[in-house]
Amino acid sequence: MKRFKLGILLLFIISCNTPKAAFDYDNQVDFKTFSSYALFPDFQSGLSQLDQARLIESLDFYLKEEGFENSSETPDIYVNVYTEKFEQDNRSRIGVGLGGGGGNVGVGVSGGIPVGQMDTYLKLTFDFISVKDDELVWQAIVESPFNLNASPQERKDRFDKIVKKALEGYPPKK
C-alpha cells in the first residue's frame, strides 16, 4: 500500500511538469505525400536567439525521426513556430482569519496571502504549411512550464520535450 501511495504521488508530480498538447489538421490532406520540410521563410519564433537555436535543433532532430528531410530548395511543407509567454498563479497561500460572535450570531473575515512566485509557461504553436497550396494543413499547440533561470542544458531538454510532445500528433490518426 505504501508503494502504491508513493507511485500515485510520483505520477502526480511528473504529470504537473509535462507539456500538454492539442492538435488540429485538415481532414482532406494526405499526409503521406509530405517528406521534406524547411523553416518558414519569415521564421520568427519570439524566443531569444539562443532558445530559438535550441528549438530549431530539436525540430530538426525529431522531424528527421518522423522521416522528414530538411530541404530548403524544394520542401513539401514549411514549418513555423511562434511562442507566447504567460504566467499562471499556482502559488500557495497562507490563510489569515478573524472571527468572533456571541449567542447565536457569528462574524468572520479571512483572506489569503500569496507565498512564492508565479509560474512561467510557454505556449508554442507549431504550424505545418503546404508549400504547394500555401495552406495550413496541421497544427499543434503545446503549453509547458518553463524556468527562465534554467541552465542551457535544462532549456535544451525542455525544448526536446516540447517538440517531441508536439510531433506525437503527426501524422494525424484519421
Instruction: Indicate the SS3 state at residue 154.
Output: helix
Query: What domain range is 73 assigned to?
Result: 35-93+115-174
The predicted pLDDT at position 13 comes to 44
In a 13 Å sphere around the CA of 132, the CA atoms on its Cβ side amount to: 7
Residue 131 in domain: yes
Residue 7 is assigned to a structural domain of this protein? no
Residue 26 CB neighbours (<10 A): 15
pTM, rounded to two decimals: 0.75
> Cell digits for 121?
509557461
**Domain-located, residue 19:** no
68 lies in a domain?
Answer: yes
Answer yes or no: is 13 within a domain: no
Domain of 171: which CATH number? 3.30.160.670
Q: Does residue 39 fall inside a structural domain?
A: yes
- pLDDT for 18: 79
Q: Output the CA torsion 153→157→163→165 (10° steps).
A: -170
Residue 76 lies in a domain: yes
Q: Is omega for the bond preceding 171 within 30 degrees of 0, making it cis?
A: yes
- Averaged pLDDT, groups of 10, the chain, 174 residues long: 51 59 95 96 94 97 96 94 82 60 65 66 96 96 92 96 96 84
